[in-house]
Chains A and B, each alone.
Chain A
Amino acid sequence: MWKYLAKRLLQIPPVLFIVTIMIFVLVYIAGDPVATMLPADASPEEIAQFRHALGFDQPFYVQFGNYILDLFRGDFGESYQYGTSALGLVLERLPATLELATASMIIAILIAIPLGIISAVKPNTVIDFFATSFSVLGKAIPNFWLGIMLILVFSVTLKVLPVSGTGSYSHIVLPAITLGTAMSAEITRLVRSSMLEILHQDYIRTARSKGLKYSAVVIKHAFKNSLVPVITITFLQAAALVGGSLITEMIFAWPGLGQLIIQAVYAKDLPIIQAAVFVTASMIIFINILTDIMYRVLDPRIKFN
């Protein structure tokens, strides 16, 4: 196991390195932002001076070297919009995104697990049809549109929940439902299929023939064993959530990382974008490795190799 762990951990640096190269290439194609940063009437000398100060007059490899050196110091430069450390701004927004992600995951699990279990226990019934439709629709309906429709129904028409922003618990409800439903669609499907599979196993029949109550068999014997793939997919979905929350945050004006990124995109604020991509990628790599290891720890049939 330790060998496997070491091998997985050793894969992190090259992956992060490629990610940083990708970010650098991106900034390089963007060209230097000096022209957009100075007032339109700046003189050529002023522009040249400014370019020199920011290092944009250096050749490609010098720029790349400086970029990597700065990276090791955790320095992505200063935001063009705010004039403060880009990484600082990104980390400042992270808690709000994590809060929303946690709320969505709770909603997703609360919907998916009961729905998945019931539809597996009673296949080909109305509730199974409902669960299957739910999981297909969850994939087909674009997330951002679901968000708009929820605003239309609950905020504009029924006026029971705020349209956007933060401040009270009611503000998190709509964005969390928006993200949570998409996630639960996938999890419901997996709970259902892995429960169906397990309910056909011999040990379930044995437990039943011993005279155990069906509900006890379903929960204690079947559900517990279906948890491995479910936990895995939930974690992978959590990683996807980091990216998926971009537009949802924008629609609901949720002050998280997603909103910061979208605003940075409109303002062409490259340092923030670089820092945000780096932080997001690091988080996803971490979650993926954690998932991978957990998957193997939880299911001893899978060997570490």
Chain B
Amino acid sequence: MELNNQAELSPYPVESSRQKENMSKKFLVLLKKLLTSKTGVVGLLIVLTVCLMALLAPIIAPYDPNKIDTANMLKPPFWLVNGDLSHILGTDNLGRDILSRLIYGSRISIIVGILSVVVGGLIGVVFGLIAGYYGGIVDSIIMRLVDSFLAIPTTLFCIVFLTVLNPGLFTLIFVIGITNWVMYASLVRSETLSIKEREYVKAAKTIGVSNFNIIFRHILPNVFSSIIVISTLSIAGTIITESSLSFLGLGIQPPAISWGIMLSEGREHLATSWWLSTFPGVAISITVLGIIFLGEWLRDVLDPRSRGTKS
């Protein structure tokens, strides 16, 4: 399993090739493989739970997450003295139910996580395909652009742009998405470089298929499984970025609920009420863990050759 060849020591994405397969057969194989991987199953269960929580928040949340209850401020979780089952995970400084807030908070994580990956993915895939397929000066320009984005750390980039733009859900999705595109661009570019040398692409060119059709009908489908893997894994990163930005007060604005906002509100009561800043962090970690498990399992299944080296 870990017997990779020397070339794969490189930390850069490995170029790989895959054949088109019958879709339904592929799905069955996937399902079978999933059941053999413990972490894959755990990851899938976690991700499904979080998604269900986000979808069904109004039904499953025991309280209105923004309802202020001055009679029940800073109540500890039920297993501690003064805690009881009416607020399982306790309440915050305004008497709001922590569990309900956690359930509603999953919505922001999921929405921002998925949409910013879509934004970054769309931009990155298009640029990657163009750079890899056309090469030359276009490639050089795009790659210098990639280098420039890589030179500014994600968090710094987001913080700086959120300073000048009006904070809010869509700004956040857009800004996090923008920081993401380089990853897709480099991956898709390197795969395109190898795929465009294949016989069938050359054949398509010879019979006069347009560049547009070659790129989107012959190259893109072959890069797709790598894109799926990297997208899944990068949702984990975007969820962490979202929570850090909201923690700093630059992301989602109250009264909207984000795990990051809960953490920053809880931090002020760290000395007296540890549960305020503990549970949201646990929620983020478990969600991210689930996504990483699911993503790594997908990578092992879709791209077995890069096992254990890509991160």
Give chain A's interface residue range (CB within 8 Å of chain B). Answer: 35 or more
Q: Does A194 contact B (CB under 8 A)?
A: yes
Question: Is there an interface contact between A242 and B153, defined as CB atoms closer than 8 Å?
Answer: yes
Q: Could you tell me if B11 and A18 are in contact, using CB atoms closer than 8 angstroms?
A: no
The chain B residue with its CB closest to the CB of A241 is: B153
Interface segment, one of A58-66, A76-84, A85-93, A134-142: A134-142
Q: How far is the CA of A139 from the CA of B289 in the complex (A)?
A: 8
> Cβ of A26 and Cβ of B247 under 8 Å apart?
no
Minimal beta-carbon separation of B145 from chain A (angstroms):
6
CB of A207 closer than 8 Å to a CB of B: no
| Contact call A281/B151, Cβ cutoff below 8 A | yes
| CB-based A-B contact count at 8 angstroms | 155
B5 to nearest A CB, angstroms? 9
Does residue B186 face the partner (Cβ distance < 8 Å to A)? no
Q: Mark B226-253, 1 if CB is under 8 A from A, else 0.
A: 0000000000100010011001101000
Q: How far is the CA of A281 from the CA of B151 in the complex (A)?
A: 5
User: In whole angstroms, what is the CA distance A229 to B311 when docked?
Assistant: 13
**Residue pair B240, A142 in contact (C-beta under 8 Å):** yes
User: Taking the complex as formed, is B53 at the interface, i.e. its CB lies under 8 A from any CB of chain A?
Assistant: no
Q: Decide: B281 and A14 in contact? CB cutoff 8 A.
A: no
Determine the main DSSP class of B at the interface with A: helix
Bound Cα distance from A148 to B150, whole angstroms: 28
The answer on a CB contact under 8 Å between A301 and B165 is no
A243 contacts B263, C-beta separation under 8 Å: no
What 0/1 pattern do residues 154 to 175 of B give for CB contact below 8 A with A? Answer: 1110011101110000000000
**C-alpha gap A193/B310 in the complex (Å):** 10
Rounded to whole Å, the gap between the CB of A139 and the closest CB of chain B is 6
- A265 proximal to B (CB < 8 A): yes
The interface stretch among A110-118, A149-157, A172-180, A212-220 is: A149-157
Q: Are B311 and A228 in contact (CB under 8 A)?
A: no
Across-interface contacts of A34 in B (CB, < 8 A) = none
* A210 within 8 A of partner (CB): no
- Cα distance, A257 to B158, chains bound together (Å): 16
How long is the Cα–Cα vector from A153 to B102 in the complex, in angstroms?
Answer: 23
Interface status of B210 (Cβ within 8 A of chain A): no
A14-B144, A136-B292, A288-B150 given; 6 more Cβ-contact pairs under 8 Å: A11-B147, A22-B148, A139-B292, A145-B281, A152-B278, A194-B9
- List 5 tightest A-B contacts by C-beta distance, closest first: A243-B153, A145-B281, A30-B164, A18-B148, A281-B151
Q: Can you sample 11 A-B contacts with CB below 8 Å?
A: A140-B285, A142-B288, A143-B244, A148-B270, A151-B270, A152-B274, A196-B308, A246-B153, A270-B164, A280-B152, A284-B152
B interface residues, Cβ below 8 angstroms from A: 2-4, 6, 9-11, 144-145, 147-148, 150-156, 159-161, 163-165, 236, 240, 243-244, 247-248, 250, 263, 267, 270-271, 274, 277-278, 280-281, 284-286, 288-289, 292-293, 308-309, 311
